Amino acid sequence: MTDEELVLAMTRGNQAAFEAFVHRYHGPLLGYLERMLRDRKKAEDVVQDTFLKLIKQLKSNKIPEKIKPWLYQVATNQCRDYWKSAGFKSEKQILDYIPDQPDKEPSVVELFERQESRVEFLKKLDTLSETQREIVYLRFYQELKYQEIAETLELPLGTVKSNLFHALKKLKASLARKEEVNHAKY
């Protein structure tokens, strides 16, 4: 079933359609939010809140025209609200004083994230502006189309394309510098 067919079925109260929709988007939304928030528990909370907002939207008969960008827009806005909140600021201050304590047995995801190239790439992403980072995540990790990204972030299409171009140019230059340094060592 397409997203539109699932949404139509959900408006009619079809529980199976809602479960299929959640199954389709839970993983991708959680991955996106984990990268944005860098906190799995908070990301899970935001995913749950996003689906709750969808239920409220459907109950009020305000059906989003394009559901996928709408979902990511709601999730992105919740991230921004969280970052502006006093709760985020106090959590950040507390976490600055608590040393990281690794789990006894790392998960497969944690092992994958420990790979040097991935860690370095994520560090390079941190050098981008918040908008550029969001666009890169949505384009390459969530595979959204340019128009969907524009709708999600409420930006003009040209701005999305421009930001992505400059972000990729910056990442490419940064990675090229690293390659030059590595070749110079050998």
CATH number at residue 7: 1.10.1740.10
Domain boundary among 80, 101, 122: 101
pLDDT at residue 103, rounded to an integer: 47
18 plus 69 within the same structural domain: yes
pLDDT at 186: 52
pLDDT at 98: 39
The reply to whether 119 and 85 lie within a common domain is no
Could you tell me if 53 and 82 lie in one domain?
yes
Q: Do 37 and 53 reside in the same domain of the chain?
A: yes
User: Which residues span the domain enclosing 22?
Assistant: 1-101
Question: Does residue 76 sit in the same domain as residue 143?
Answer: no
Long-range contacts (CB closer than 8 Å, 24 or more residues apart) made by 148-157: 148/66, 148/68, 148/69, 148/72, 149/69, 151/66, 151/69, 151/70, 151/73, 152/69, 152/72, 152/73, 152/76, 153/73, 153/76, 154/73, 155/131
- Residues 121 and 51 placed together within one structural domain of the fold: no
Would you state the pLDDT for residue 51? 93
Does position 27 have pLDDT exceeding 90, yes or no?
yes
Model confidence at 178, in pLDDT bands (50, 70, 90)?
A: low
Q: Are 35 and 14 in contact (CB under 8 A)?
A: no
The CATH number of the domain holding residue 175 is 1.10.10.10
Could you say which of 73, 101, 129 is where a domain stops?
Answer: 101
| 103 Cβ contact list (under 8 Å, min separation 6) | 110
What pLDDT, on a 0 to 100 scale, did the predictor assign at position 58? 87
Binned at pLDDT 50, 70 and 90, residue 176 comes out as: confident
Residues 65 and 120 in one domain: no
Q: What is the 3-state secondary structure (H, E, C) of 43-107?
A: HHHHHHHHHHHHHHHHHCCCCCCCHHHHHHHHHHHHHHHHHHCHHHHHHHHHHHHCCCCCCCCCC
Average pLDDT over residues 17-33: 93
What is the structure's pLDDT at 107? 56
pLDDT tens, residue by residue, 31-90: 999 888 888 899 999 999 999 999 898 888 888 888 999 999 999 998 888 878 755 554
Residues 73 and 120 in one domain: no
pLDDT at 29 over 90: yes
pLDDT tens string 132-165: 988 988 888 888 899 999 998 999 999 999 999 9
Chain segment 90-113, per-residue pLDDT in tens: 444 444 443 444 445 555 555 444
pLDDT at 25 over 70: yes
Residues 126 and 156 in one domain: yes
Angle between helices 15-37 and 67-84 (to 10 degrees): 40
Do 14 and 63 share a structural domain?
A: yes
Domain end residue (candidates: 75, 101, 127): 101
Whether 9 and 97 map to the same domain: the answer is yes
| Tally of domains within the chain | 2
Residues 88 and 33 occupy one common structural domain? yes
CA 64 – CA 54 distance, rounded (Å): 9
The reported pLDDT for the residue numbered 87 is 58
